[in-house]
Amino acid sequence: MESSPGIKLTNDANPARIGAQPVGVNPVDRPMVFDIGLNNGDDAAYYLNLGFRVVGIEANPLLAAQCTRRFENEIRQGRMKVVNAGVLNEPGEFTFYRNLTDHGWSSFRPDCGKKGGKWDELIIRCVTTQQLIAEHGKPFFMKVDIEGADFQTLHSLTTDSAPAYVSLELNYADPIVERLIDLGYSDFKFVNGETYRPTPPIFDHQPGWRLLRKLGRVAPFVRSGISRLPERLRPNSEYDPPGKYSPDGYPFGLHSSGPFGERAAGSWLSPAAAVRRWSGLKEKYRKDGKTNQIWWDVHARHAQVDP
């Protein structure tokens, strides 16, 4: 498969695996990333650091303008574009709720955008993912984080137009994993949005893990012993190494989505295993009454990619 002209995705030339492209490569020959939900540009900065060219799409006009200034040099070099638009399942102009408490809560969904009680209502031009592809080309990787509307970005995609790799923020209700399977994605990883690791927290309805957590905090040797166990035997984020997962040591910020593709933490799961994994996680949040606190991303690799 080819993600961009002249870039063949093989074991030896997979940008999600090998990192930065050689200096001097023509920008149009670099694999492209769609950063849908550009926010303050921290993710785009990471993708640029890896050698990709980036099309950043941001509905919030203030953040879009901020990123245009931030990436002035990269835009001039042809490595970056900033598009002030929303991405939904149909084109048009729609009400965008720009949250004044936390810009990360801004959304086309009023229940998200109005959190905290302070917001502006703006009319924002929206496009579909397929329209973005028609205008800018098919991306190698597509990151989506648009506060409650991630599922809509998959609506216009087909198996042929689906990017090689994608990541989306999950929620309790939307069948994002099932839609990705329908689009031909064959391999999946789930990572905690706070740590970028595949390990879940200790839930309120898990008294055994809660007891071990308490023991570990009063008797450090208990915690140390558990932390040294293989991950499958200590499957809780309580025992992860400190900080966010960063295989290359990149300093991810508060608004970053973390590594993607082959760099993302964890092993790839089959479609059936992915459905079981996500269903199990959702059930744990349901038992705790915390379905509105889910903060997990799914990473998916398309079947047409040669790993």
* Domain extent listing, the chain: 2-199+244-302, 207-235
Q: Looking at 80-89, 169-178, 220-229, which range is the least confident one?
A: 220-229
The residues facing 96 across adjacent strands are 122
Q: Is the pLDDT of residue 305 over 90?
A: yes
Residues 123-158 as b or e (16 or more Cβ within 10 Å = b): ebebbbbeebbeeebbbbbbbbbbbbbbbbbbebbe
pLDDT of residue 27: 67
Confidence of residue 241 (pLDDT cuts 50, 70, 90): confident
**Chain segment 57-90, per-residue pLDDT in tens:** 999 999 999 999 999 999 999 999 999 999 999 9
What number of CA atoms fall less than 13 Å from residue 122's CA on the CB side?
A: 20
- Look at 21 and 243; give whichever has higher pLDDT: 243
CATH 1.10.3720.10 is right for the domain spanning 2-199+244-302? no
Confidence of residue 35 (pLDDT cuts 50, 70, 90): very high
- The residue behind tokens 């009680």 is 117
Contacts of 126 (CB under 8 A, 6+ apart): 59, 85, 86, 87, 88, 90, 91, 92, 93, 94, 108
Q: Is the pLDDT of residue 222 over 80?
A: no
Q: What share of the chain is helix, strand, coil (3-state, %, to 5)?
A: 35, 20, 45
Q: Is the pLDDT of residue 143 over 70?
A: yes
pLDDT of residue 120: 93
Q: Looking at 180-189, 202-211, 253-262, 288-297, which range is the least confident one?
A: 202-211
Give SS3 for 116: helix
Q: What is the CA radius of gyration of the chain?
A: 20
pLDDT of residue 18: 37
Q: Is the pLDDT of residue 132 over 90?
A: yes
Q: Is the pLDDT of residue 6 over 90?
A: no
DSSP string, 31-46: -EEEEES-TTSHHHHH
Confidence of residue 293 (pLDDT cuts 50, 70, 90): very high
What is d(CA 129, CA 27) in angstroms, rounded to the nearest whole number?
22
Q: What region, left, alpha or beta, does residue 57 occupy, with left being phi > 0 and alpha being psi -120 to 50 degrees?
A: beta
pLDDT of residue 13: 38
pTM of the model: 0.88
**Residue-level length of the chain:** 307
Across the chain, mean pLDDT equals 88
What percent of the chain shows pLDDT beyond 70?
89
Q: List C-alpha distances in Å: 124 to 36, 57, 87, 98, 207.
A: 15, 12, 10, 11, 47
